[in-house]
Structures are given as structure tokens and as C-alpha cells.
Structure 1
Amino acid sequence: MLIGEVARRSGVSSRMLRHYDSLGLVRPTGRTVAGYRQYADADIRRIFHVESLRSLGLSLREIAAALAEESFAPQTLVADLIRRTEERLIRERELLERLRAVEGAEPDDWRDVLRIVELVRTLGSADPPRRLQAVLNPAANEPVPTDLLAAAVLAETEPNMAGALRWALSRAGDDGLAALAAGLTSPDAEIRRRAVQAVAEIPGDAATALLTAALDDPAATVRAPAALAAGARGVSAAEPTLVAMVVAGTNDVDAGEVLGALSQDPESADRILGALNHALTTHEDADIRIRLVQALVELPGTSALATLRSLSADADPSVALVATAFSDLVAAREHS
């Protein structure tokens, strides 16, 4: 079959077929008397093989190496292509986010567009001090658009920088909440956790409602900061998560303090005391039970005194010792 017919039937141009020949990728088996390339069935199969590998994103040099390698493993190729595709998608998502940030900032003219693009680039810098400067000392004293701040908060991994970004975003009030909405529904639990931490620094009922909703998050790493922040705002729905944090040893001291604050309400006090007592009866681990004893001490008045006195005779000496010390403390606190 001559090159023109091969090109017509395969969809590969004659020019590309000549290029394949020059690279040694697909060399026609024969030549006519006049010197024209003549392709056999095996050559045509190789053309389709090359085109299939090209469609997967391989360069012609990589295709040549793959076809020349007798021990070539398709699994290795596919794994490498998956990695490259994932990297490309990450870059494309970053570009899309930058474009949306520019669009969301509603630039008035090209000067605004350039300023916002530079802001996006600076906030995405690998240098934390440079990112911090963009937030605290923006060029021309123009405030950083809320959407850009929210995107930076959700992406920031350096703790000090994250704190500065949350502070800056909190000054935007409810505008900051609207910008964080996407983070609260992200499939990535780490992004949802960052969103909850940022919402926690924004006052008002709207922020409290978002924190309350986050108490149902499937990830404990998201529920914990939501419970601490919502509980500090008097949300009783945070109680079960706070008790679970004490049991797990996750910010248990903070969780105990928030439980104590919630217990200022008599109804909450009864529920929390009951939950802590239930946990004491269902867990045998001494460390867990000591943390529960410490949480009991945070309850106001003498509501936990009976439980502490009963634990003074606990079969575990370490639990009994801690309970005895704290029961004396609670009793003394009541008489002071």
C-alpha cells in the first residue's frame, strides 16, 4: 500500500508518516521501482500502535524507546502516564482557581487585572514571608480581595502564615464566610479543617451555624475544631464530640474547659455529667479514665463530687489517686 493510501485510511498525514520513517519509528517494508514507500500490513499495524501511544501523551522519543524495548512493561508506562496526568490536572486546577480569583475580584481595568494576578502569584509563593507581606502590606495599600484571602487560607500549610491569613479574613466578616463556603464542602478533609478554623475566628450567628453544621463532618479532624469553636459559643450540639475528644485525648484539656463552660446551663450540666459518667463505665484504660476525671473537675459547683468520691476507691490505683486529689479540690472550691 502506497503512502497516500495509508495516509487516507489511517488518518495519519503523509508528512507525519515520512517523519516516522526518518525517526525509525515506522519504516515501510519496501519501495516501488520508482522509489515510493510501500507499506505492508505489519507496517500499518505499527502505525496504529504508534498512534495509540501518542494518544496516551507519550513523546515520539518515548514511543521509539518503548517499541525498541523487548522487556517493555505496559504497567510501568500506564503508572507513569497516570502520574503525569495527575500533575497536569493539579496545574490546570491551580490555573483555574487563579482565573476565578481574578474574575471574582471584579477588576475594573487591566491595571486591576495585573495587580490581582500579582497578588495571586505572591500568595502562591513558596516563601512564607513573601506571602505574609502580600496580606499585611498589599501593594498600593489596596486590600486583598476576600476570595483570594479565602483561597489562600484553604491552601496554607505553614501554621504562622495560616494564622495571619485567618486574622485578615476575619476582618471581612460575613464576606469571609461566603468565600469559605467551598472549603467547608471540599472532599479533602484537611481543606475542610482549615475552613472550620477560619470560620471559628469570624463572629456572628452565620459563622456559628456553619460551625454547628460541621459537627456532623465525617472526619474527626474537622469535627474537633468545630466542636471547640461551637461549644465556646454555647452550642450544646458540640457536647458529644467534646466528650469523644476527651476520651481520644484530642485537645482533651481544651475540650474539658469548653464542657465546663457549657455546664453553666443546668440542663447541659446534667447531660455532660451523664455522658462523662457513661464513658467512665465503658472504658477500662487508665489514661482515658484519668482524662475523664480531669474533665469532671471542670464542671461547676459540686455536680461531679459524688462521682469523684466514688472513683477514689477505684480498682486502678492511678485513677483512685487522681480522683481523690480532685475530689478534695472540688470540695475546697465549694467552700471557698
Structure 2
Amino acid sequence: MTSTTPQDSRVANALSAESSSIRLQAALAVGSGADADYTELLIERCAIEPDFFVRDMLSWALTRLPSEIVLPRLHRELCSGGDQARSQALHTLSKIGDKSAWLWITREMLDDPDDGVARTAWRTAVALVPEDEKASLAEELVRQLGRGDRGVQRSLSRELINLGDMIEPILERAAQSLDPRVAAHARATELLRQDPESGFEAAISEARLMLTPGASSGKEPDAGMVGVESRVEPMGVQETMDC
């Protein structure tokens, strides 16, 4: 890690200690001191820290520092960092909550092949999106319906629901997709929006039942429902970020 003084070296050593509890305490101490000189140390550690709780403390420490120093460095991380670096930079942006960073959330990030990066990008985009951009973001996010495992799908449903009631007609349209995974995920999200207490597992099971022709009579699903994709065309979200 970058270090220029004995104090920097001590902090760097603590942040890279073998014990996760020592690393956690080090991040807490740096955040409590709110010393902007440690910005680089914190961001560099975010890119490689294996422990979730320590990473979260590192992000908290960064939120304690002047945003005019931290934001440009996070921007750089979004442009050139690896998967964990970009995911953690996005997470930190969502915690800082500076709406100007909305311009840094690109379609490429929302579509990222790494599920961790994409999920964090969805959450950050929803946290930072201006009111007049919500519809465009919703149209972009529904393109991800049907993606990944249950955890990924649950995350996407949650963020779509967090956009508010304006998502209803967009989900309704997506539920007409010929791709059964997309249609089921869209219907499950709408069911969950209407009844948040039902849980995602119950919602996706009910949605699949609704989409299975002859389910009540025990007939096999129509082969025409399988493997055909129909997604909503994207709109509004910037294609690339100016790095």
C-alpha cells in the first residue's frame, strides 16, 4: 500500500493485518479521525479486503472524509479498478449519496458480467437517480430480469420496487415476454411489490404457476414458452463514462 510517513506505515500495516478484527479496528480508527491523508490507503484496501464487515467499515471511513477529495478518487476506481474495486467504489458512492455521481453509473456497469458489480450498480443507481430519470433507469433495469440465481433476482426485484409505483406498467409489459424466466421474474416482482411480506420465494413460485399452461390439469408447459427472449429496449442511461 502507498505510505509516505511512519504513521502511514503503521496504519497500512494495521489495515493489512492477518486478523480481520485488527483490520476492522484500524478502519474504524481512520474513519473516526477523518484524516483525508488516508484516502488512498482506504481505497487501495477496499480493492483487496476479503472480509465483508471490514470492507463496509472502509466505506464508512471514506464517507467521513471530504467528498471533494474522495469522489474523484472513487471515479478513477470505477474506470480502472478490478471487479471488487469497482463494486466497493459503487457501494461507497451509494453511502456518500452525492447525486452528481449519478452521471458515473453507466449501462456497462448495470450490465456488468460480474453479478457482484452489477448488483451494486443497481443499488447505487437507484440511490442516486434523479426523479426525472427514474423511468429511464427502470427501463434499463428490466433488461436484467431473469438474470442469475435467486439472490441476484431478489436483489433486482428489490431495487425495481424501490423505484416506486411508476414501475408497475413497466413490469406489466415485461411480464408479457416470451422468455419464461423474464416473464416469471417480472410477475414475481409485481407480486412482491403488492405484498412485500410474501417473500421472494413465494412470489416466484406463484409467478411460475401463473405462467405454466395447464398447471392445474397437470399438462406439460407449452414448448413455445421456452427459450424465446423479449426484453424491453433500453433508454436513457449513459453508454459509457468519461474517465
TM-score in same-fold range (> 0.5): yes
Structure 1 counterpart of 2:47, from 140, 144, 154: 154
Give the drift of 1:115: 0.8
Matched, 1:272 2:171: yes
Aligned mates of 1:118, 1:242 — CA distance in 2: 47
Q: Does the 8 Å contact 1:232/1:258 carry over to 2?
A: no
Specify the code of the residue in structure 2 equivalent to 1:229. T
Look up the match of 2:8: 116
What are the superposed Cα offsets for residues 4-32 of structure 1, whole Å, 9 maximum, x if unpaired?
Answer: xxxxxxxxxxxxxxxxxxxxxxxxxxxxx
Specify the code of the residue in structure 2 equivalent to 1:252. Q
Q: Does the 8 Å contact 1:231/1:239 carry over to 2?
A: no
SS in 1 for 2:96: coil
Relative to structure 1, is the Cα distance of residues 232 and 218 closer, same or farther in structure 2, using a 3 angstrom cutoff?
same
SS in 1 for 2:174: helix
Matched, 1:257 2:155: no
Aligned mates of 1:221, 1:316 — CA distance in 2: 37
Structure 1: runs of 5+ lacking an equivalent: 1-96, 103-112, 302-307, 321-336
- C-alpha RMSD of matched pairs (Å): 3.5
Aligned mates of 1:160, 1:293 — CA distance in 2: 34
Look up the match of 1:240: 140
Give the drift of 1:261: 3.2
Look up the match of 2:124: 229
Structure 2 counterpart of 1:170, from 51, 56, 63: 63
| Larger RCO (CA within 8 A; separation ≥ 6) | 2
Structure 1 counterpart of 2:94, from 200, 221, 232: 200
Q: Does the 8 Å contact 2:175/2:183 carry over to 1?
A: no
Matches within 5 A, 1:290-329: 290-299=184-193, 312=210, 314-315=212-213, 317=215
Which of these two proteins has the greater Rg computed from alpha carbons?
1
TM superposition score normalised by structure 1: 0.49
Structure 2: runs of 5+ lacking an equivalent: 196-205, 219-243
Look up the match of 1:179: 73
Give the drift of 1:313: 7.3
Matches within 5 A, 1:39-118: 97-99=1-3, 102=4, 113-118=5-10
Q: Does the 8 Å contact 2:97/2:127 carry over to 1?
A: no
Relative to structure 1, is the Cα distance of residues 206 and 132 closer, same or farther in structure 2, using a 3 angstrom cutoff?
same
Specify the code of the residue in structure 2 equivalent to 1:221. G
Look up the match of 1:77: none
Relative to structure 1, is the Cα distance of residues 246 and 229 closer, same or farther in structure 2, using a 3 angstrom cutoff?
farther
